[in-house]
Structure 1
Amino acid sequence: MQEEASVGLMGALSALFSGAVWVLQNIAMGFYNIGYAVTHPNLWLDWTDKKAVMRFVYYGGSTELFFAVVALVLVVLVAGFIHRPFMWGMVRVLEGFANTVGRFFAWAGLLMVLQQVIIVLMQRIFARPDIVFGFGIPLQYDISWYAEELKLYNALIVTLCATYTFVQGGHVRVDLVYAGVKFRTKKVIDMLGSLFFMVPMSILIWMYGWFFLWRHLIVPKPSASDTLERLLMKSRAMRWNVETIGFSPNGFTAYFLFKILLVAFAGMVFLHAIAFFCRSYLEWKEGEESENKYLDKDTLGEGEEAYEGTH
């Protein structure tokens, strides 16, 4: 019995060691893969070549890409741990990116309201079945097309404004433990949350969203289980087959845009998870006086502080 337990323990330790070696090898290969991709862009960016398209599809959801990103993140984090102003700079850049994208696409809410008003006017007052816009070349679609397009505006707000809302502290949260703990404990919780919730969630969404996107852009349809060799074989019969089917006969015909937004959402959440981890670490390191340092939050103006964060 003791010998079996000893063998089991040795097997577990051996598996852990092999796993650690595998991870380190892949991180090291990540630097090589980054260099190779940068120096050979024609192999994956020249989309006149069908094999290049298939390489792009494969590596976009591959282990190689994951470890290349991990390698870059590790380099940036190590540099930030060594030189704290560099990490603050990275936080400001990533939060600025989230704010800029979010503030721009938040205007989609206004467009959604205006378009809905136009649809109602055209249907109820002018009794028109379509809406025509034209500056030399008329753009004419059925009203049902514009009605279904409203979903796109909603998707723009949900996917591209999520990290902006996070920066602004606008997401609903339930504080059962967090609100009652000390400042530094809060920052530890934030760091763990970004590493064990935000990062894995964004990676899973990216993996599912990436192949979900490409299955609606090309045929033969790629699969997450396809090897590179199999995809290169499929490239012989590859052709573009962009999804243009709506839910109604004259409905919205660009539903592939929703798949692109899903991938963009995952990428932005991953980037902000890194930014949030770095901010939490820096505030933990520097203490309460650094809370919300360099944070670019929206304001309703002087005298409206009581209403901020409630909209």
Structure 2
Amino acid sequence: MNNLASIARSLDTFSKFVGRYVSWLALFMVLAEFSIVLGRYIFGFGSIAFQETVIYSHGLLFMLGAAYTLQKGGHVRVDIFYAKAGPKQRALIDMLGSLFLLIPVSIIILLASWTYISGSWRILEGSVESSGLPYVYLLKSVIVVFCGMMILQGISTILHAILVLREEETMPCNEMPTEL
């Protein structure tokens, strides 16, 4: 296995590791929401902090699972050209899309959100509710992680595309057979 393939596989492994563990938040959210409803309507008990835990989990699930979803080809794409293209054309589309759209947009999001995140850290922002969670600044910090993971997965996509164009792989990375 050459260096490009090795780097791409390492980046894919990282996205897969994070994605698989973060996916458990979906089950947690269902169980937590069920508990909230049960507590409120059966036992007359409510908790703002527990409700906010579901919101935090939802944010974490989507922000930290986005790179894994990208790796598996789960994001929506316009298939006008892609559906009829062969492996090399798809690789080229993936490479150009990552290079000129995904990575620049991730960098713009990172730069645009920096003051938002740093301001939140400066005041150690918490919930607007008095009994809510005091960790809003940590949740906002996930934006940085999201951007970093998307950039890394974009690099992996570019590397896989190069390998397809060199005929060292047979199909783009987001179409490779996967196991979950």
TM-score scaled to structure 2, two decimals? Answer: 0.90
SS of corresponding position for 2:3 = helix
Shift of 1:87: 0.5
Instruction: Tell me what 1:273 maps to.
Output: 154
Q: Identity, % of aligned pairs?
A: 32
Structure 2: how far apart are the matches of 1:262 and 1:106? 18
The within-5 A match list for 1:1-311 is 85-129=2-46, 143-218=47-122, 241-244=123-126, 246-286=127-167, 290-291=170-171, 295=176, 297-299=178-180
Shift of 1:174: 2.2
Structure 2: how far apart are the matches of 1:248 and 1:174? 41
Shift of 1:210: 2.5
For structure 1, the 5+ residue unaligned runs are 1-83, 130-142, 219-240, 300-311
Shift of 1:253: 2.6
Aligned in 2, Cα 1:290/1:253: closer, same or farther, shift over 3 Å? same
Letter in 2 for 1:99: K
Structure 1: how far apart are the matches of 2:42 and 2:87? 59
Q: CA RMSD in A?
A: 1.9
Work out which structure has the larger RCO, using CA pairs closer than 8 Å and 6 or more positions apart in sequence: 2
Structure ranking higher in strand proportion? 1
For structure 2, the 5+ residue unaligned runs are none
State the structure with more CA Rg. Answer: 1
Shift of 1:283: 0.7
TM-score scaled to structure 1, two decimals? Answer: 0.54
SS of corresponding position for 1:290 = coil
- Count, aligned residues: 178
Structure 1: how far apart are the matches of 2:79 and 2:142? 30
Shift of 1:116: 1.0
Structure 2: how far apart are the matches of 1:127 and 1:212? 37
Shift of 1:292: 5.4
Shift of 1:296: 6.8
